[in-house]
Structure 1
Amino acid sequence: MSATANRPDICANYLLADLPAQASHALESQLSPVHLFRKEVVGERGQEAAYVYFPCGAVLSVLAYMDSGAAVEVGTIGKEGFFGLELLIGGTHWTETTVCQVEGDSLRMTAKAFLEVVAGETPLRRITQRYLIAYLATVSQSVACNRLHTIEERFARWILMTHDRVDGDRFFLTQEYIADMLGTHRPSVSLVAGAFQHAGIIKYNRGWMTILNRAGLEEASCECYQVDKSHLAKLREPDMLAV
C-alpha cells in the first residue's frame, strides 16, 4: 500500500523538469507525493483510472497477463516518463496492469486534474504526447527483442533499463520477478545471473543487484538497449523542449 512520502523535487521527474517554469509552478499544487512499495499495483487492467503517476525514483512495470495467470513485462516507466497514457488519448480505464518494480517516490495527480491540465495545447500535453511516441517505440522494440534475442542479451538490457531509472548502483530484484518480467523460468535467470556475477559484471545476493561493470553490461546487451536509450534521449533534445 502506498504511503505519503517526503515531497520529492518536481525536477526528479524528467517530464516535469522540462516544463516551462510557469507551467511547472502552476502544476505543483496539483501534485501529491507518494511512496510506492515493491509489487504495489498502481493501475489494474479494466479499472477506471483514478490517478496518474510521475515517478521520481520508483520504477513501474506494465504487465500483460494471460488467462493462465502468467505475465510478461511490456513496458517500463521511471523518472523519464509517467503512468497515465490511456487518459492522454481519450481512455478512461487502464488497458494493462501496472505494478511497482522498484520501491521509491513518485508524484501523482488525480485523473480529473490531469485531464483539465492537458485540455488544449498546453505544455504538459505536448511533452506527454512526445513521451507517448517514445514509449510506443520502446514497446515495439521489446516485441522484437523478446522474439529475436537470447536470454543473456535480454537480461542485460532489462537490468540496464532498470539501472537508468534508479538512484545508485544497487537495487532490489528477485530472480522470480526478473523471470516474470522476461517471460522465462527462474532457473534460466539464475544461470544468467551467476554467469554475469562470475564475470564481475554484477553482484547479486538475496535479491540485491549491484552493478559493478556498467560497460560490461552494455557490451552483453543486444542493440535494443541503445535503440531504447536514443528514443528517450530525444525527449530532452533542445528543439524538442521548445514548448
Structure 2
Amino acid sequence: MSTLYSQQKKTSELPLCEYNTSQNHLLAALPSAEFEFLAPNLELVDLPLGEMIYEPGVQLQYAYFPTTSIVSLHYVMESGSSAESAGVGNEGMVGISLFMGGGTTSSSAVVQIAGEAYRLERRILKQEFDRGGLLQKLLLRYTQALMTQMSQTAACNRHHSVEQQLCRWLLLTSDRMPTNDLVITQEWVAGMLGVRREGVTEAAGNLQRAGLINYRRGHISVLDRAGLEKRVCECYAVVKAEMNRLLPDDILYRQRT
C-alpha cells in the first residue's frame, strides 16, 4: 500500500474552534462532550484518487470520516474484475468493521473522488464506541443505512440497465459533493459499476444527448438533476429515504452544546 500522509495536517495542533469537522455529518452531530474526546486524535489527511486505504483481509488501523473525498467499497474477483458495493462520502465513515468486531474486511476501500478526510486510530474509535454515547448510536444507524445501500446496489446491478445504474451512481455521487462536476473517467465509472466501458460510453452518450450531463475526457458534469431523477430506477430513492430515516437532519445538524 502506498504512503498516504506526506502532506497530512494534524488537527491535534488546532484550537477547538478551528476544526472543520462540520463537513462530515457524523462528526458534526456530536455534542461538545463527545467531540472534545475525539478532537485531539483526529487527523486531516489528503486522499488522492485511486489510493487504496483498505485491502481485503488486512487489519484495519484507522477509521476515515470523509469531508471532500468519496471512497468506494468494492470487491475484486480473482479475474481482476471488480464492482462497487457502496460509496462513502461526507455522510458517513469508512471502517465499520472496527466497531462491529471483525477487524478486517473482504472488500477493498479505494478513493473514488480525491479530497480530504479525518482519520481516527482504531483504539480511540473503539474506546468511544464502547462508552455508549451518541457516537455509538450514530455509527449503528449509519451501518444500517450502508447495508441498505449495499443490498440495493446488488439488486440494481442485477436487474436494471446500465443507463439506470449510471444515473443512480451520478446522483448519489453528486449528493456528496459541493459541485456537480466530477473529475473521473469512463473507465473508472465502468469499474465502479462492474460493466464494460462500452456500456458506460453508450449510456453517457444517451444522457449527454438528452442534455442531462456533459462529458469530456476525465470530467462529468451533471446539468439536469431533475432529468436524471426521472430516468433513474427506484434504487436511488430507496437509498436516500433510508439514510434520511435513520439519520434525519434534526440529528445530523444539531448545535454543538
Instruction: Name the TM tier (shorter chain).
Output: over 0.9
Partner residue in 1 for 2:15? none
Q: In structure 2, do the counterparts of structure 1 residues 196 and 123 end up closer, same or farther at CA, with 3 Å as the change threshold?
A: same
Equivalent-residue separation in structure 2 for 1:236 and 1:134 (angstroms): 9
Partner residue in 2 for 1:141? 152
Q: In structure 2, do the counterparts of structure 1 residues 124 and 158 end up closer, same or farther at CA, with 3 Å as the change threshold?
A: same
Matched, 1:220 2:231: yes
- After TM superposition, the structure 1 = structure 2 runs for residues 106-185 of structure 1, keeping only pairs within 5 Å, are 106-185=117-196
CA RMSD, aligned part only?
1.7
Equivalent-residue separation in structure 1 for 2:250 and 2:52 (angstroms): 36
DSSP 3-state at the match of 1:118: helix
- After TM superposition, the structure 1 = structure 2 runs for residues 19-38 of structure 1, keeping only pairs within 5 Å, are 19-38=30-49
Matched, 1:74 2:74: no
**Which stretches in structure 1 are left out of the alignment for 5+ residues?**
none
DSSP 3-state at the match of 1:167: coil
* Amino acid in structure 1 at the alignment position of 2:238: V
Q: Is the 8 A contact 1:179 1:189 kept in 2?
A: yes
Q: In structure 2, do the counterparts of structure 1 residues 222 and 238 end up closer, same or farther at CA, with 3 Å as the change threshold?
A: closer
Identity over the aligned pairs, expressed in percent?
A: 35
- After TM superposition, the structure 1 = structure 2 runs for residues 43-58 of structure 1, keeping only pairs within 5 Å, are 43-58=54-69
**Which stretches in structure 2 are left out of the alignment for 5+ residues?**
12-18
The match for 1:203 among 214, 218, 235 is 214
Matched, 1:233 2:244: yes
Equivalent-residue separation in structure 1 for 2:190 and 2:124 (angstroms): 37
Alignment TM-score, normalising by the size of structure 2: 0.90
DSSP 3-state at the match of 1:73: strand
Q: Is the 8 A contact 2:75 2:107 kept in 1?
A: yes
Equivalent-residue separation in structure 2 for 1:117 and 1:95 (angstroms): 25
* Amino acid in structure 1 at the alignment position of 2:188: Y
Partner residue in 1 for 2:116? 105
Alignment TM-score, normalising by the size of structure 1: 0.94
* Amino acid in structure 2 at the alignment position of 1:4: Q
Q: Which shows bigger deviation, 14-23 or 97-106?
A: 14-23
Partner residue in 1 for 2:8? 4
Equivalent-residue separation in structure 2 for 1:141 and 1:126 (angstroms): 23
Query: Offset at 1:239?
Result: 7.2
Equivalent residue pairs, number? 242
* Amino acid in structure 2 at the alignment position of 1:140: S
